[in-house]
């Protein structure tokens, strides 16, 4: 991205929120889209090929999330799995995912923190699946992904408590710093 290693800027996370903050809207949106597709397509393909076999769908989704969070391409230092998990669950559990997206947006809009939206959605999403009577293997996958996302957000939670968490901001910090020079 613009010849920089995103892990050396902003929060240091290679996810869409940091790319948005550091590089700009277009790059952040593209990162979000690509990360979500990494989760969406494997599960969609698994559902299409094996509609009644939840195990194949779960394995496809889990591998997409694990491959994103612990990517071999970045020395096992990937993102937090939010966008990729969203893609997985848009394909796997679309109805509860709509509720989780709503919770995410409310969290971001009311606090100005992407991390609050992400943690809130990760926390409630499995319960939406449970309440909607989704198949238990898929609901178990939702709980597992939610727990992983919450664990990956522990540093964000600490920064929130200390008042040091970065706000969701429009514009590019990279472009702003280049303009100052």
> Average pLDDT over the chain, rounded to whole?
90
- Report whether pLDDT(4) > 90: no
Instruction: Using the structure block, give the residue that is written with the tokens 């009311």.
Output: 110
> Do residues 16 and 83 make contact, with C-beta atoms less than 8 angstroms apart?
yes
Q: Report how far residue 104's alpha carbon sits from residue 67's, in angstroms, rounded to the nearest whole number.
A: 23
DSSP assigned state of 164:
-
**What is the share, in percent, of the chain residues with pLDDT greater than 70?**
92
pLDDT of residue 1: 53
Of 19-33, 100-114, 142-156, least confident by mean pLDDT is 19-33
pLDDT of residue 48: 96
Q: Which two tokens stand for residue 115?
A: 């991390």
- Segment holding 107, helix H or strand E: helix 94-111
Q: Which has the closest alpha carbon to 142: 106, 173, 99, 180? A: 99
> Do residues 60 and 105 make contact, with C-beta atoms less than 8 angstroms apart?
no
Tell me the whole-structure pTM to 2 decimals: 0.88
Segments making up each domain of the chain, as ranges: 6-180
- Please state, in angstroms and as integers, the Cα–Cα distance from residue 165 to each residue in 11, 23, 113, following that order: 9, 18, 8
């Amino acid at each position: 991205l613009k010849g920089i290693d995103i892990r050396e800027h902003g929060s240091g996370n290679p996810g869409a929120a940091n790319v948005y903050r550091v590089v700009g809207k277009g790059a952040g949106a593209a990162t979000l889209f690509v990360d979500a597709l990494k989760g969406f397509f494997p599960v969609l393909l698994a559902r299409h090929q094996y509609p009644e076999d939840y195990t194949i769908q779960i394995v496809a989704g889990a591998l997409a999330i694990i491959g994103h969070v612990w990517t071999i391409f970045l020395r096992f230092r990937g993102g937090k799995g939010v966008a990729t998990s969203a893609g997985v669950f848009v394909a796997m559990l679309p109805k509860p995912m709509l509720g989780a997206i709503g919770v995410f947006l409310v969290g971001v809009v009311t606090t100005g923190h992407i991390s609050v939206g992400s943690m809130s959605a990760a926390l409630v999403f499995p319960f939406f699946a449970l309440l909607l009577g989704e198949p238990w293997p898929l609901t178990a996958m939702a709980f597992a992904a939610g727990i992983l996302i919450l664990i990956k957000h522990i540093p964000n939670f600490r920064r929130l408590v200390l008042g040091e968490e970065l706000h969701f901001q429009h514009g590019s910090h990279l472009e702003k710093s280049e303009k100052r020079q």
